[in-house]
Structure 1
Amino acid sequence: MIFVTLCFLITAGVGLVCLIGYRRTRQQLRLLRLVATCPIAELHERIPGEMVEITGTVHCATPLRSEYTGQPCVYYRTVTERVVERHGRSKKGGRLSEVVAQNEQRIAFEVDDGTGRVAVDPVGAEIDGRKLLDRFEPVENGEGATLRIAGMSVEVRAAEWRTLGYRKIEEAVLVGYPVYVLGVLQDDGSIGRPPEGSRLREFLISARSEEELATSLRRRSYLFLAGAITSFVVAGMLLIALLVQSVISIS
């Protein structure tokens, strides 16, 4: 009874998270369609607080250097995952991974579209970077490890598990490369995030084109929807099982 109740709460929670993600992604897609690209030279004609969409090239006098590849950028995100495998299994089903390190950095930059330049403050933005690195580095004589699965620490002994290696991932928004920005025009003429509490405006920065970003968001929305439907169906079945158990226990 307790186990079924716990499973019901977990699946219902997952379904709710997926539903929220679906609605958020569909809203982002709607804004991509509704907000037309504005030449930077015409931004002065817009009203502060208005949603604006621009494309252009990234410029920054003092850029960051991405952590793994060392490329000049205005944003980077790195993730290091440890991959372990159960002894005697070579299939992917016998493998687990955990994030052992991650880092994200962002700084203000400018966008130039040939008609002018505008400053962008990326604080609060959802940033979609260009993948620069996705490399697996194997290790020899891997030892056991402590993994975190669903927020719980799980001890894996060296006798049963071995560390295969580490996967390193890096994505960034590079200086001198195209960028897409959907944000709110600020009082000082820059582009930034919407005011606190605003639910109908978004702040997106992407190293991909608008079309590529829309395709990615559309695919993500389908995954969220499928996850929500599946989770709610399973939660419904578990709820029925709980009700049946309650009736049996009462009788």
Structure 2
Amino acid sequence: MAFRLTFVLSSSSSFPSVWPILGACAGVYLFYHGFQLLVRKRLIENTPSSKIRSAAMGLVELSGLATGPYTMNAPITGLPCYYYRTMVWQWKRQGKSSSWVKAADESLHLPFFLDDGTARVLVDPQGAELDIHRDFHDEFSESVFSSSLEVPANISNFLMAHGVSTDKRIKVEEYCIKPKNSLFILGTLAENPGISVSATPARSLPLTHSVSFNLGSMSLGSSLSITETTTIRLFKGGAEGFGQTFQGANPAHLDPAQQAKIAEVLTKAGITNPAAWAVAGVERGTPAAPVAVTSSTSGAAAATAPEQFDLHPHTVLMKGAHSPAFFISWRSQRDVVHSLGWKSALMIWGGPALTLLCVYILAAGSGWL
């Protein structure tokens, strides 16, 4: 296998030394990341597991079931949940190769409770590293009879709200924390800094995104630093737009539901320029589409009424200022430790091996040996 890898890497006529260099850098990264996983594994092993009723302030390990008075509906699956992250990738050609490029990333959460049978504790998932169950995964590509993607209405609405065109192959994934999910959490139990339980979802994972506009032959681009996970690209005219979606600046071209969803995206991005709203085909001030949030008593979520929860608890499980470790997993503590163990070992030993192999290939190809 090593000889085959050597042949493949050294057979590039354009850039004979690029792949060995990239491989060597990847090996260094794997070695570094392996040690990060090893540190986390030892941290979990050295942190005693606690029951919620007897948990002390500071870094703790807790396990229990997710519950809470309010849920929201995930945009793709429609499942009631406390947290969701929906991501879309497009298959794009970059240079001589093609790869998946992230086109949209949306994440919302509601504060929820962890219940282990002894007590409940409020969990604020903001800033947590999550290892949760994937509830949806599918790919969509052009059919033989159509040049556009054939996707369900809920996915089409999500793509439209995030400005993702349907002229390329796409991949959609959605991850959720749902009522009654069994969770293992490593985090900091601290005094509540003012977090209250409400039906208003909050954005997760603040990121910096770019906003670009394409007006026929004219182009205008700008970068915005916004605390959300939405990428917005609006097009007017041309085959690379959204077909019949944004054919003009007249709001009559869009139905009220579409206008509301586009207005929601523009409002969240902080775009107030009337010209930008006109390009999107909506009028400034169009009411944004609300996020569907319901009481967990009205579905398969939980049988506990909102008034039976302490909506302003004294303590909260969150990411600490001095102990930044914050990890939420749908696996048990034992499974998490086992997974971190073999992954860290593979990276710590495999990273240097990959680096040495690539250095050898680079040296042999350069005539140094």
- Residue-by-residue CA offset, 1:135-159 (whole Å, 9 max, x unaligned): 2334314769xxxxxxxxxxxxxxx
The one of 318, 321, 328 equivalent to 1:192 is 318
Higher strand content, 1 or 2: 1
- Work out which of the residue numbers 100, 121, 125 in structure 2 matches 1:122: 125
Which residue number in structure 2 is paired with residue 232 of structure 1?
A: 355
CA 1:106/1:34 → structure 2, altered by over 3 Å: closer, same or farther?
same
Aligned partner of 1:60 among 60, 64, 68: 68
Other-structure match for 1:76: 84
Distance 1:5 1:138 in 2: 35
2:48 corresponds to which of 21, 24, 36 = 36
Q: Deviations over 1:146-188 (max 9, x none)?
A: xxxxxxxxxxxxxxxxx88433222211122211111122233
Whether contact under 8 Å (1:73, 1:173) holds in the other structure is yes
The letter for the 2-side match of 1:67 is P
Do the aligned residues in 1 keep the contact of 2:21 with 2:362 (CA within 8 Å)?
no
Q: Is 2:178 aligned against 1:174?
A: yes
Of 203, 210, 222, 2:326 maps to 203
Q: Counterpart amino acid of 2:60?
A: V
Q: Which runs of 5+ in 1 are unaligned?
A: 86-93, 145-162
Matched residue, 2:343:
220
CA contact (8 A) 1:140 1:164 kept: no
Check the 8 A contact 1:130/1:208 in 2, yes or no: no
Query: Hey, what's the Cα distance between the residues in 1 that align with 2:31 and 2:66?
Result: 34
Identity %: 23
> In the aligned structure 2, how far is the partner of 1:174 from the partner of 1:77?
12
The alpha carbon displacement at 1:7 in A equals 4.4
Q: Distance in 2 between matches of 1:3 and 1:115?
A: 62
Which stretches in structure 2 are left out of the alignment for 5+ residues? 1-13, 149-166, 193-314
User: Which residue pairs with 1:51 in the alignment?
Assistant: 59
Letter in 1 for 2:85: R
- What is the CA-CA distance between 1:191 and the residue it aligns to? 1.6
Tell me the distance in 2 between the aligned counterparts of 1:212 and 1:80. Answer: 29
Q: Distance in 1 between matches of 2:125 and 2:17?
A: 42
Please give the secondary structure, in 1, of the residue aligned with 2:191: coil
Match of 1:90 in 2: none
* Rounded Cα–Cα distance in structure 1 between residues aligned with 2:325 and 2:85: 21
1:82 Cα shift? 3.8
Q: Which amino acid aligns with 2:78?
A: G
TM superposition shift of 1:56: 0.9
Determine the C-alpha separation between the residues in 1 that align with 2:61 and 2:51: 9
State which structure, 1 or 2, has the greater radius of gyration over its C-alpha atoms: 2
CA RMSD of aligned residues (A): 3.3
